[in-house]
Structure 1
Amino acid sequence: MLTYDLKITGMHCVDCAHKVEAALQAVPGVTAAHVHYLKRRAQVTVENPTIVVDHLRQAVQAAGYDATPG
């Protein structure tokens, strides 16, 4: 297991955080994703280290937001 911390930009409400969380949870191999709206951060746990930050970032971007490691 590996956990990534991401900074999320573009969220304006709690519903935005739910959308980002759903997008991250839909990535194959993600075992947990928790988005903190007020902190603008996400913690994502993956079962396989072949899932890299870029995969997670692409999922967040597809939902209309952006993510950077941090």
Structure 2
Amino acid sequence: MTTETIQVEGMSCDHCKHAVESALTNLNGVSSADVSLEDNNVTVNYDETDVSFDNMKDAIEDQGYDVK
């Protein structure tokens, strides 16, 4: 398992938090995702053999948020 913190812009409320966490945890290989609205990031635990950073970035951006 790998843990990565991804900077995400545009999140401001519980709906944003839920949207990003759900999009990530629905990906095969992601075991958990924890959004910090204060820090504008999401910490993701994942299996790098099943999912790539680009897959996670795409899932976040599909929800309307920007990955930095």
TM bucket normalised to smaller: 0.7 to 0.9
Q: Is there any run of 5+ residues in structure 1 with no aligned partner, and where?
A: none
Question: Secondary structure of the residue that 1:5 maps to in structure 2?
Answer: strand
Which residue of the partner structure matches residue 54 of structure 2? 54
Q: Using structure 2 for the length normalisation, give the TM-score.
A: 0.87
| Aligned twin of 1:4 | 4
Identical positions, percent: 31
Tell me by how many angstroms 1:53 deviates: 1.2
Q: For the Cα contact (< 8 Å) 1:33–1:43, is it kept in 2?
A: yes
When normalised by structure 1's length, the TM-score is 0.85
- Greater Cα shift, 24-33 or 41-50: 41-50
Measured in 2, the distance between the counterparts of 1:49 and 1:3 equals: 13
Size of the aligned set, in residue pairs, is: 68
Q: Which blocks of at least 5 consecutive residues in structure 2 are unaligned?
A: none
Superposition CA RMSD, Å = 1.3
For residue 10 of structure 1, report the CA deviation from its aligned partner: 1.2
